[in-house]
A and B are shown apart, each in its own frame.
Chain A
């Protein structure tokens, strides 16, 4: 008699249970589907009534509006701060921002899925015109170059655009390179290998930094943008916080980091560089050509940027000024504005932009978008609100530009 001719008892049970179980399973699936349908219906109904509830119930004559925004994660906390304060002034208007990324902000504004698109990098004027969009700067931000090199005798190394471009391109690989030494006379530099870090995600900071390299060194290839084909082997990190963490654990490392992360980078024991202006790229040794990212110096650069373009535009990511009377380098075209008025512009400054349509689908809602932006760049931009995200207030020159641009928006049918 061989073993296992009969199916084990458990097999019997399960076989005889088959139809019953199947029946139960069918009932189970049926119940689950029914629950899902009911929940969906309840959700839609709830949403519908919520919407109805938000609308004025006859007593008031004003219509309610919800202004939607998506885009830059750098702008998001600032808008989140502004939104409730604006609603307390205009109870019928709600602002609903979302931090998704500058690319998503541009795409949302182009396709009209949101009323405002937030971005760290300007939208090219030619593309903006194609979609009837305008770049409206709402604050000034800047970028710092941090390094992990403990034990230096100075608190800020002097670095210029040419040197930075050569570091990231791999043309300078050690900290005691003669070009770095020339910009830092008297500083004893170690022979440590330089590890340049970059952002792995799409980033306005990458846009600014590659612009700086592009303008500063003729050997820079591959252009500039929110993404860049970095030299192989260099490590990339997610977000500014990733850059801070990564640089902290990379001795000899160097990284470009948004000024919003100044405190967290300093707390991690990192130091930042004074950046050279355009003259420093030519003659790296003059200490007067190296500028620290103080609020005053950053504001000067924003003004310089605005005034350097003819016709006036804010579609800039940075400007390399610093040679009085000479041609200043600006992305998208050079200008010849004298820089005497703004002698110490910090060269790694940018504007935070909101993209809005000049020919909106809903002009009566757009009226409040314009009102909101006018408020956000003037009385809404209080010092504590800006300081909490390390932004600087727009200069009067940029506000003037904005107000004029906003007046071109169609706000009635």
Chain B
């Protein structure tokens, strides 16, 4: 057993010991620090900048308790009282995001497990590259594909098929949406967008499970499957939940692609086929009109504050749980 004092580099194994690594010299450090430290603050400043300006622009106009209600009504002519029920849109967002997340998380877990455990390195790497590729496709491309190619097909084939087999499940009963646009199509599109992030985070959390534990399990005679179920998944649990929250944040925040396929109907849809809307896509829909109607612009700014809050919250939970951004501590020597 080799004792290594903390903070000191371990000399590499080999015939000729390498010269000790040179730490930052005293003369260089201040300049580098001086240059880079403000840059490190940029992300914080950006978020603060967005939040402060939105708050300032919204002037925190109070639309009454109906702002937090579940009814939306806007009269452009201003004759009837407006109701900007933001909760309606949050619920609608969840109706689309949660099923998409459930399916995406299942797919991602299966992919992460096969990459980390079962696949040889080469196909695993190819699969990783392909999944990351999905993340690089601009969302508007998914939107166009969804509304030009998929919507007619969903209307004529997919919806009737799901209705035929699973119509007895609440939420999957009729009536269908003949044009194909609606929550179901939005869920389908969102799966493509969530899978890259959930797969990446799940893969890394499964990878960070200490080898000792896995090998100990195998040494005790457990099968790969048992090790997976009782050791890897259990140890990586937090990371997996983190991946789910990050995926949820992604799903709730997506606007353009969802806007193009969800069908822009403002209500709580009675089933998964019906046209609906989400908080993010609704802001997108109403953007141009908000230039006409100042009241609507105020409401949209406050909507976007709610959306910002949701996204930040979900991301913080997700990052904290998955350990993204913190140093991965490899503990060696401690038996299970």
The answer to whether A227 and B178 have CB atoms under 8 Å apart is: no
- Give the contacting residue for B333; candidates A2, A23, A221, A235; CB below 8 A: A2
The answer to whether A235 and B2 have CB atoms under 8 Å apart is: no
- For A1-26 the 0/1 string (1 means CB < 8 A from B) is 01111110101110111111011001
Known: A18-B21, A245-B148. A235 touches B292 (CB 8 A): no
- Give the contacting residue for A202; candidates B78, B177, B275, B287; CB below 8 A: B287
- Give the contacting residue for A104; candidates B74, B263, B269, B288; CB below 8 A: B288
* A342 interface residue (CB < 8 Å to B): no
* A246 interface residue (CB < 8 Å to B): yes
**B296: A residues at CB distance < 8 A:** 227
Query: Could you tell me the distance in whole angstroms from the C-beta of A194 to the nearest C-beta in chain B?
Result: 11
Task: Give complex CA distance A253, B178 in Å.
Answer: 9
The answer to whether A223 and B288 have CB atoms under 8 Å apart is: no
Interface residues on A, range: 35 or more
Q: Is the interface of B mostly helix, strand, loop or mixed?
A: loop
**A229: B residues at CB distance < 8 A:** 72-75, 266
Query: Could you tell me the distance in whole angstroms from the C-beta of B144 to the nearest C-beta in chain A?
Result: 10
Task: Give complex CA distance A251, B178 in Å.
Answer: 7
The answer to whether A253 and B289 have CB atoms under 8 Å apart is: no
The answer to whether A101 and B264 have CB atoms under 8 Å apart is: no
**A16: B residues at CB distance < 8 A:** 9-12, 18, 21
Determine the residue in chain B with the shortest Cβ distance to A121. B292
**B269: A residues at CB distance < 8 A:** 233
The answer to whether A4 and B291 have CB atoms under 8 Å apart is: no
The answer to whether A236 and B265 have CB atoms under 8 Å apart is: yes
Query: Could you tell me the distance in whole angstroms from the C-beta of A380 to the nearest C-beta in chain B?
Result: 27
The answer to whether B275 and A103 have CB atoms under 8 Å apart is: no
Determine the residue in chain A with the shortest Cβ distance to B291. A103
Task: Give complex CA distance A5, B4 in Å.
Answer: 11
The answer to whether A226 and B288 have CB atoms under 8 Å apart is: yes
- Give the contacting residue for B76; candidates A3, A11, A227; CB below 8 A: A227
**B178: A residues at CB distance < 8 A:** 195, 249-253
Residue count of chain B within 8 Å CB distance of chain A: 68
The answer to whether A201 and B36 have CB atoms under 8 Å apart is: no
Q: Which residue of B72, B76, B259 has the most chain A CB atoms within 10 A of its CB atom?
A: B76
- For B270-301 the 0/1 string (1 means CB < 8 A from A) is 10001100000000011111111100100000
The answer to whether B275 and A236 have CB atoms under 8 Å apart is: yes
* A29 interface residue (CB < 8 Å to B): yes
Query: Could you tell me the distance in whole angstroms from the C-beta of A186 to the nearest C-beta in chain B?
Result: 28
Task: Give complex CA distance A18, B274 in Å.
Answer: 56
Task: Give complex CA distance A18, B24 in Å.
Answer: 11
- Give the contacting residue for A224; candidates B77, B210, B265, B266; CB below 8 A: B77
* B163 interface residue (CB < 8 Å to A): no
**B318: A residues at CB distance < 8 A:** none
Q: Which residue of B2, B79, B270, B291 has the most chain A CB atoms within 10 A of its CB atom?
A: B291
**A327: B residues at CB distance < 8 A:** none
Q: Could you tell me which B residues sit within 8 Å of A by CB distance?
A: 1-2, 4, 9-13, 18, 21-24, 32, 35-36, 39, 72-80, 147-148, 151-152, 155-156, 177-182, 210-212, 215-216, 259-260, 263-267, 269-270, 274-275, 285-293, 296, 330, 332-333, 335
Between A and B, 8 residue pairs with Cβ closer than 8 Å are A2-B333, A12-B10, A19-B24, A101-B288, A101-B291, A227-B293, A235-B177, A237-B147
Known A-B contacts: A19-B23, A223-B75, A236-B285. Give 12 more (CB < 8 A): A4-B215, A5-B1, A11-B10, A15-B10, A26-B32, A195-B179, A225-B76, A228-B76, A235-B179, A245-B151, A249-B180, A251-B178
